[in-house]
Every structure is written in structure tokens, then in C-alpha cells.
Chain A
Amino acid sequence: MSDNKLLGPDEAEFAKPLFVPIKRRSFFMYAGATAGATALLLAGCDDDDDDTDTPSGTVSLGSGDVGVLNYAYALEQLEAAFYAQVIATPYTGITTEERTALTAIARHEAIHRDFFKAAITAAAPTQIIGGLTPDFSKVTFTDRNSVLMTAKTFEDLGVAAYNGAGSLIKTNDYLLIAGKIVSVEARHAAYIRDLLSNGSFADSTVVNAQGLDQALTVSQVLAAAQPFIKDKINGDNVGK
């Protein structure tokens, strides 16, 4: 990818906010162990995940456009599993409006996940990755701040991932579909951010002085997402 100039010196800054909440919440790793374990059990029921595992236990996303589609499918699986758990075990003090909105977001992410699964199955049935096993052990699902900070991380990461992957896509139909999804992720991101702090929908941690949202490389995104996924993901050939 030739977007190094865009990311350039800010790369470290971009990556930082994605990790800060995790560290800050490490305290909750223990407090939230029960909720986390529940999440894992539920998520584990999803699908078998060993059909495309390499012998070493690593899930390869593959190459070319299929790699990009698997990359998106992996991220949507993560988001869908997260919001499903948020809705199954709502945080303390959730308002009616928040529950309605988060339920809508959960449905959107589930639709994205199911869409990619069906689309990849149709286009490249032998190359689709299996169901991933999320790791939400660092999330305290009873705690509003923990849930919304994680949601913010996922939504901002999703936006940055699609923005960065657009130029890797070779097929116009896929590019247009990625564009149709990324703006919805951005709408989610703005809403979640406003719930955390009204007016932070597009603050300087995600939109730079040129008025540009983040665009991250596959490796940057996977590094940020990996702590939330038990399977080791390899995206080295995505788009190539």
C-alpha cells in the first residue's frame, strides 16, 4: 500500500488510542472474568473454525480481493459477537434509548457478518475463513464505560480498516460495497463517541488537521484487533 505518506509520522498516534483503553481497563480483567467467560461460551457456539486453519493454528485471510473480503468478515464477526453480548447482558444503568440504539447496531453488524459469509461462500467457497473465537476477557459487560470504550475502539478501527483497504480492492462492486458499509461504521462510531462524550463524534483523536479520518494498513488493524480474537490472524497477503 502506498499510503505511508498519509499515515507517516502519525502512525504511532493513530495506534495509541486503540491500545490505551485496554491498558486502562486491565484492572477489569479480573473483575469482569465472569462476564468475559460467558461471552466466550456464547461466541464459541458460532461455527467450526478449523477448516482454514494452517497447521500452526493460524487463520490466513488469503490474498487478493478474497483476502480483503475475509479481512472484513473477520472484523464484522468480532463486532457482531461483541454487540450480541452487549445486548444479551446490558450494562448497569442502560437507558431505553441506548438499548434501542445498541440493538440496532448489533443487528447492523450481524447483517454485515452474514452478508460477507454468504458473499464469500458464493464467490470463493474454498477460501472463506471459519468462525473466529473472540476474546472479550478485557471487557466488563456490566460497566457502561468499559462497553462503550470497547465499542468506540471497534467502530473507529472498523472505519480505519475499510478506509485503508479501499485501495487494495480490485473489483468495483466490492469497492462500492465497502464504501456502503464504512459510512455506516462511521455513523456508529460517531454515535458511540457522543454517548461517551457529547461532541466527540469526530474529535482530533480520529480526524486530523486536514479533516481526514484514519486509514490504517491491514497489519496495523490486525495488531489492534488481535487482543480481542483468540485465533491468530495472518493478513500478510490481503489485497496482494
Chain B
Amino acid sequence: MNLFQIIREIEKVDPEIMDRLTHRRSALTALGDISKKMALAAAPIAIGSAFNKAMGQQTLNSVNDVLNYALLLEYLEEDFYAQALAAPTLAANLSAGSPALGAIQTIKAHETAHVALLKGALGANANPRPSSFNFGTAFATYASFLTFAQAFEDTGVRAYKGQATKIKDAGNPNNLLTIALQIHSVEARHASHVRYMRRAAPAGSIAQYGWVTNAEANGAPAAVYGAGNPAATFPAESNLVQGGLTLTSVGGNTYTAAEVSEAFDEGLDNTTVVAIARSAATF
């Protein structure tokens, strides 16, 4: 993951983040190259605590901002699947006529349709596609590809959910809220199927279902299932409280924490989502 790129991104919304990291930065500057690498290994801890302070806001101010944010995520997903379908390393698993190939083609087609729909809605205000997406070693193995796919789909679900009230508060122009919800549930269908593919994978089968249990990442970045900011609005996927009700005991019935966490997906703020995307891809 590209930590410095993430910091640059956060600086756009939180100019003070470097102040909070200053002691770390000066330490890095003072140290030689070899030490720097060692320090970097410990950096995620410092970054993690800085994130908690930095991501205190949804930063999208207009419906167009929301749509361009969605468009960026759809560009990323579309490109991810396009690269997967072209990757020689995945050809044996995504073989002609295989269910896996069919599923990935279906998902890719939906992401392409979402890009076209959002670009159409934005018209001249649509942001251009980033010049390239580099997914690192994502396509090295089938298992790695599916892990990335799960991360992107589950993040996509959380991302759209996180913007629903934003669109509503902007007056729901052109009933974009309904369209966003219609995309949102398609992403959830994708997520469910990709999770099922990982469960059924010939090598490295993951004992999971189509829904998110607790905040189990199963190889995806932990942040995909963690809390956003503010955490009261965007708790981790392990959240047990909805509408002020702790649902492990409700209506005279008791449920396990796993069951309650599975029954509700959580939203995520845009800053956290973009940080997750940039931790998995360079663009």
C-alpha cells in the first residue's frame, strides 16, 4: 500500500495530518535508508491513529461530487475486472465456458454499465478516467484476485450506502437516490457471489458466506470492514446496535453477535473509502 499517497490524499481534507505525523516524519528524515525501511514497517500503526482523527468528515458537497465519487469507484472496478479478464495468470481459472468466467464477465458488464450511467448523469461535469490503475500483485493468483474483488465489492456496498442521506438531503434530484440504491444492491449481489466463489475455490477455500460476519476480512484489508468516521454513523461491520437497540436481545428473542452483524451492512464515509481504494490500487 502506498502510505504517502494516502497521506497526500488526506492532506486535501485535513491539512493538519502531517502535524500529527511530524515526529514520525522527522524520524524518517533523520534516519538512513535501511532504517527507513524498518521504520516504515511500524508506520501503519502511526498512520492508523492519525486516520481516526483525519477522517472526521464526509467531504462531498454536492450531488455531482457524490456522482463523481461513485464514478471513480466504478472506473476502478471496471478496470480491475478488465485487467483480470486479460491476465494470463488467471486464464486457467477463468477458462472459456467456465462459471467463473461467466460470473466475472457479468460483473464487469455491470460495472461498465454503471460507468456509462454515471457519466451520462454527470454530462460535462464527469471527471475523466484516471490514466491507469495499478493493482500490484492482485492478479498473481486466482485466490488473490478473488480477495481483491471481495474487498472492492464489499467496499462499494459500503460506499453507496454512505451517500444515501447525502443525495436525499440535496433534494434527490432526478430521483438519483433510487438509482444509487439500484446500483448499491447490484454491488451487494456481486459481493455475495464473489464471496461464494472464494468459498468454492479449489485452493484456499474460505469458510464464509455471501454476507459479512462480524468484521471478518478473510484476507481483505481490515479497513474494508472497520469503522469509518464518524464511527457513530459508520460503525464497523461488527456493529450490534441499530436505531438505539442492541439486537442480540430484542423482542424476547436472543441472537448471536455474528447473526446480528450479518443482518445489517454498514455504510462508510467517502474519505475512508478512497483511502481503502488507494491502499489496494495506485491511480
Contacting pair B181 A114 (CB below 8 A): no
For A199, give its contact among B102, B177, B209, B211 (CB under 8 Å): B102
* A169 to B210 alpha-carbon distance, docked (Å): 27
Q: Which residues of B contact A2 (CB under 8 A)?
A: 175
User: A118 and B185 in contact (CB under 8 A), knowing A108-B259, A191-B192?
Assistant: no
Contacting pair B102 A163 (CB below 8 A): no
Q: Which residues of B contact A194 (CB under 8 A)?
A: 192-193, 196
Q: Shortest CB–CB separation between residue A108 and chain B, in angstroms?
A: 4
* A107 to B110 alpha-carbon distance, docked (Å): 30
Contacting pair B190 A172 (CB below 8 A): no
Q: Does A39 contact B (CB under 8 A)?
A: no
For A167, give its contact among B165, B177, B183, B262 (CB under 8 Å): B177
Q: Does A147 contact B (CB under 8 A)?
A: no
Contacting pair A110 B264 (CB below 8 A): no
Query: What is the number of contacts between chain A and chain B, taking CB atoms within 8 Å?
Result: 200
Interface size class of B (residues with CB under 8 A): 35 or more
Q: Which residue of A lies closest to B195 (CB)?
A: A187
Q: Does B103 contact A (CB under 8 A)?
A: yes
Interface size class of A (residues with CB under 8 A): 35 or more
Q: Which residues of A contact B169 (CB under 8 A)?
A: 172
Contacting pair A167 B172 (CB below 8 A): yes
Bitwise interface map of A from 88 to 112 toward B, beta carbon under 8 Å scored 1, else 0: 0000000000000100100110111
Q: Which residues of B contact A108 (CB under 8 A)?
A: 211, 259, 262-263
Q: Does B280 contact A (CB under 8 A)?
A: no
Contacting pair A101 B209 (CB below 8 A): yes
> B26-34, B80-88, B129-137, B250-258: which one contacts chain A?
B250-258
Q: Does A27 contact B (CB under 8 A)?
A: no
Q: Does A162 contact B (CB under 8 A)?
A: yes
Bitwise interface map of B from 111 to 123 toward A, beta carbon under 8 Å scored 1, else 0: 1111011000000
For A184, give its contact among B164, B177, B247, B263 (CB under 8 Å): B263
Contacting pair B263 A182 (CB below 8 A): no
User: A180 and B211 in contact (CB under 8 A), knowing A6-B178, A198-B99?
Assistant: no
Which of A101, A108, A183 has the most chain B CB atoms inside 10 A of its CB? A183
Contacting pair A115 B178 (CB below 8 A): no
Q: Which residue of A lies closest to B172 (CB)?
A: A167
User: A187 and B161 in contact (CB under 8 A), knowing A111-B247, A211-B113?
Assistant: no
Contacting pair B192 A115 (CB below 8 A): no
20 new A-B contacts, CB < 8 A, other than A115-B243, A179-B265, A214-B182, are A104-B211, A111-B259, A113-B251, A114-B250, A114-B253, A115-B263, A122-B245, A164-B178, A175-B164, A175-B168, A180-B265, A180-B267, A183-B161, A188-B211, A198-B99, A199-B106, A201-B103, A201-B106, A211-B112, A215-B181
Give the 8 A-B residue pairs with the shortest CB-CB distance, closest first. A211-B113, A114-B251, A186-B188, A190-B192, A183-B188, A212-B182, A187-B192, A186-B185
Could you pull out 13 A-B pairs where Cβ atoms are within 8 angstroms?
Answer: A115-B250, A122-B245, A163-B178, A179-B267, A183-B188, A186-B186, A186-B188, A199-B102, A199-B106, A202-B186, A207-B186, A209-B113, A212-B183
